[in-house]
Amino acid sequence: MDTYLNARRIDRDSYLPYYIQLKEILCTAIDQHHWEPGDRIPGEPELCDMFGVSRTVVRQALNEMEHEGYITREKGKGTFVAQLKIRESLMQKLTGFYQDMIDRGFTPRTRVLKQRIVKASAKVADHLEIAEGEPVIEIRRLRSVDEDVPLLLVTSYLPANLCPLLAQADLENQSLYTVLESHCGIFIMRGRRFIEAVAARPDEAELLQVEPGSPLVMIDSISYDDNNTPLEYYRALHRGDRSRFEIELLRLPERDFKNEVPTSTSLPHANSLTNDKS
């Protein structure tokens, strides 16, 4: 670890403030596993000496890292790398949890709680655009990464006739999407996700190893094929203390934003609003 830090320097000629540069160096050390969760990082005096910056710079960098969930501080003990938070991208390539974690260098673990054929409820039928009561495959899984602490609880529903072998497929050692693609020739091409903050119910809290009422992030998702046919509806409950979501926003280049700029900043007269009968 000392070798990694000693090779990094604050660029005195950069337009970036020193605290941002220091924060990026330390966050990269965590992201690249030079430090692991629970490791103690150098104290403020050590970081000041190491990088030739003031305590104000170090404190500002550490404050931002704490706010973003990279570190925790314990009075009288020091500063430590926070427990793993899984960062999920809500825009990028559409992959399942299993493959996404492998791509990030983690070892995903799955415990299948339910894998059975049931009748579609009104809500599930609506999302999958099928008739209420039609058979669907219900799959409930508890997901974790590199350790035994669960991170999310996800329940998926797919039309039973979509891929019949799903009811017996090994979903603890391979991803759902792999089974669909490799064994059934079915490819999910796009998805819609809805995000909501919820409180853990007692049964959910027990599975996720949190207190009832603890904050969870709920994601409802509907996945489609290239014909816009719904293939999967799932609800995922993420532990709020172990998850972080990344949203990438894109500006569409084909839009003519110049034509959308108002030619005048003046507001309509109050009378013009009240007298408008159209």
End-to-end CA distance of the chain: 70
208 vs 149: CA distance, rounded Å: 8
Beta carbons of 152 and 161 less than 8 angstroms apart: no
1.20.1250.20, 1.10.10.10, 3.30.300.130, 1.20.120.160: CATH of 2-81 = 1.10.10.10
Give, for all 278 residues of the chain, the pLDDT tens digit.
567 777 788 898 888 889 989 998 998 888 888 888 889 999 999 999 999 999 999 999 999 888 877 888 888 889 999 876 665 555 444 445 555 655 556 677 889 999 999 999 999 999 999 999 999 999 999 988 766 778 889 999 999 999 888 889 999 888 888 889 888 899 888 888 888 899 999 999 999 999 999 999 999 999 998 888 999 999 999 998 877 777 766 665 555 545 554 444 444 444 433 344 43
pTM of the model: 0.61
The CA dihedral of 201, 112, 237, 247, to the nearest 10 degrees, is: 180
Of 118, 89, 98, 88, nearest to 177 by C-alpha is 98
159 vs 181: CA distance, rounded Å: 15
Of 51, 45, 55, 56, nearest to 26 by C-alpha is 51
pLDDT at 174: 85
Beta carbons of 245 and 221 less than 8 angstroms apart: no
Cβ neighbors of 260 (< 8 A, separation 6 or more) are none
Of 142, 140, 137, nearest to 116 by C-alpha is 137
pLDDT at 146: 64
Beta carbons of 238 and 248 less than 8 angstroms apart: no
pLDDT at 271: 43
The CA dihedral of 130, 135, 137, 138, to the nearest 10 degrees, is: 90
Neighbours of 139 (CB within 10 A): 22
pLDDT at 68: 76
Domain ranges of the chain: 2-81, 86-246
**CATH top-level class of 86-246:** alpha beta
Amino acid at 135: P
